[in-house]
């Protein structure tokens, strides 16, 4: 009898922890776009990121993740190009501080994934916070829409980082879109 009780106890302990160790980031597709995803409208205040993968010529395993955004001109920039966030070297097994508690994280792992140049996520976070606060002063009561246009080769971790930043700031309206060519 006691044996069986212990078995049940152990079983429930183990099975309850099985999935619970994983965190979950909520992201919701916009409700109103519904079935016509291909013809979605761009809201004037929407933040749009373009993530691109630029492979290195000498070593095809590594490269640069380029992050651009439209609707933004830093002060003093008179060129007509989309703003591009500066890169940080996360090559090899280098550990990069990741906000807000400056925890050191590692992007490259092994031979299969030797690390790459990443956009500066601190700047992205600052920029998103700025845009979020501007949007809130308008008082629509909704969260600012963020769209991540990601090209096929970009590693998943980059998308997860941006969704993570959005969750931290309190932006719930994050969408992943098909690759579109930025308008120059």
Partner 1 sequence: MKKRKKTDDNFEVKMEMTPMIDCVFLLIMFFILTTQITVNIEDVVLPFALEGKVQQHKDTNELMLILNVRKNRKNAKPSDRSGEIVYQARVYNPKELKAKLDDEVAYDAAPPPRGRGRTKEEGPNGVQLSRLEILIRYDKSVRSEYLRQIFEQCQKAGIYKLKLATTQPEG
Residues in contact with partner 1 by the rule CB under 8 A: 3-4, 7, 11, 15, 18-35, 37, 51, 53, 60-61, 95, 98, 100-101, 103-106, 109, 111-113, 150, 152-161, 163-164, 167-168, 175-179
Nearer to partner 1, 61 or 123 (CB): 61
Q: Could you write out the DSSP letters of every residue in 89-132? A: EEETT-EEEETTTTEEEE---SSS--EEEEE-HHHHHHHHHHHH
Q: Which of 116, 119, 128 is nearest to 165 (CA)?
A: 128
Query: Which helix H or strand E contains 6, and what residues bound it?
Result: helix 2-20
- CA 54 – CA 57 distance, rounded (Å): 9
Q: Which of 75, 74, 108 is nearest to 89 (CA)?
A: 108
Q: How far is the CB of 37 from partner 1 (least distance, A)?
A: 4
Q: How far is the CB of 70 from partner 1 (least distance, A)?
A: 19
Nearer to partner 1, 7 or 133 (CB): 7
Q: How far is the CB of 36 from partner 1 (least distance, A)?
A: 9
Q: Is the preceding peptide bond at 100 cis, omega within 30 degrees of 0?
A: yes
Nearer to partner 1, 64 or 157 (CB): 157
Nearer to partner 1, 3 or 184 (CB): 3
Q: How far is the CB of 86 from partner 1 (least distance, A)?
A: 22
């Amino acid at each position: 009898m006691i044996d069986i009780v212990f078995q049940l106890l152990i079983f429930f302990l183990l099975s309850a922890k099985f999935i619970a160790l994983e965190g979950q980031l909520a992201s919701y597709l916009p409700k109103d776009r519904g079935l016509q995803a291909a013809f979605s409208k761009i809201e004037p205040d929407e933040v749009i990121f373009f993530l691109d993968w630029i492979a290195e010529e000498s070593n095809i395993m590594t490269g640069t993740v380029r992050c651009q955004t439209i609707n933004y001109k830093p002060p003093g920039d008179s060129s007509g190009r989309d703003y591009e966030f500066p890169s940080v070297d996360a090559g090899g097994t280098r550990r990069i501080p990741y906000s807000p508690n400056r925890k050191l994280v590692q992007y490259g792992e092994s031979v299969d994934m030797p690390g790459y140049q990443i956009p500066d996520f601190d700047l992205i976070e600052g920029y998103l916070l700025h845009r979020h606060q501007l949007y809130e002063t308008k008082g629509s009561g909704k969260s600012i829409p963020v769209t991540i246009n990601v090209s096929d080769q970009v590693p998943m971790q980059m998308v997860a980082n941006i969704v993570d930043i959005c969750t931290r700031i309190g932006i719930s309206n994050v969408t992943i879109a098909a690759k579109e060519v930025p308008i120059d």
